[in-house]
Amino acid sequence: MKAVITVIGKDTVGILAGISGECAKSGANVIEVTQSVMQDMFAMIMMVDITDCKVPFKELSEGLKKIGEDYGVMVHVTHEELFNTMYRV
């Protein structure tokens, strides 16, 4: 089972480390990262495998959002299935 973590906000030092650190702590394996910085806006999309995640999805989601708040960026976590459903017929 995979989840997609989206981070959008002002670019600051340590966002990637913060988010991936929280994933590692919870047992979510980072599979792929796409990121771009446009002017000073930062957008990162991270695909993680949550099959062996040690905490419930809600806890992972809340933990990541908390880190987002610390860095002043918006974090959104969702099951991969949402995007597959919306964009694939």
Partner 1 sequence: MINTNDILETINMIQNENFDVRTITMGISLLDCIDDNIDKACTKVYDKICRYAGDLVKTGEDISVDYGIPIIHKRISVTPIAMVASACQAMKTVKFAKALDRAAHEVGVNFIGGYTALCHKGFSAGDYALIESIPEALSTTERVCSSVNIGSTKAGINMDAVAKMGKVIRKTAELTADRDCIGAAKLVVFCNAPEDNPFMAGAFHGTGEPDCVINVGVSGPGVVRAALSKAPDCDITEVANIVKKTAFKITRVGQLVAQEASKRLCVPFGIVDLSLAPTPAIGDSVAHILEEMGLETCGAHGTTACLALLNDAVKKGGVMASSHVGGLSGAFIPVTEDAGMIAAAEKGCLTLTKLEAMTAVCSVGLDMINIPGDTSADVISGIIADEAAIGMVNSKTTAVRLIPAIGKSAGDYLNFGGLLGGGPVMEVNTASPAKFIARGGRIPAPIQSLKN
Q: Does residue 11 interact with partner 1 by CB under 8 A? A: no
34, 38, 39, 40: which one binds partner 1 (CB under 8 A): 34
Among the listed residues 11, 15, 78, the one whose alpha carbon sits nearest the alpha carbon of residue 47: 78
In the chain, DSSP finds a helix count (H) and a strand count (E) of 3, 4
- The verdict on 84 binding partner 1 (CB under 8 A) reads yes
Residues facing 29 on adjacent strands: 49
DSSP assigned state of 40: T
For residue 13, give the 3-state DSSP assignment. Answer: coil
Among 21, 66, 69, 85, binds partner 1 (CB under 8 A): 85
Which element (helix H / strand E) includes 50?
none
- The minimum distance between CB 9 and partner 1, in angstroms, equals 11
Residues 43-72 close enough to bind partner 1 by CB under 8 A: 43, 45, 47, 57-58, 61
Number of residues that bind partner 1 (CB under 8 A): 25
83 binds partner 1 (CB under 8 A): yes
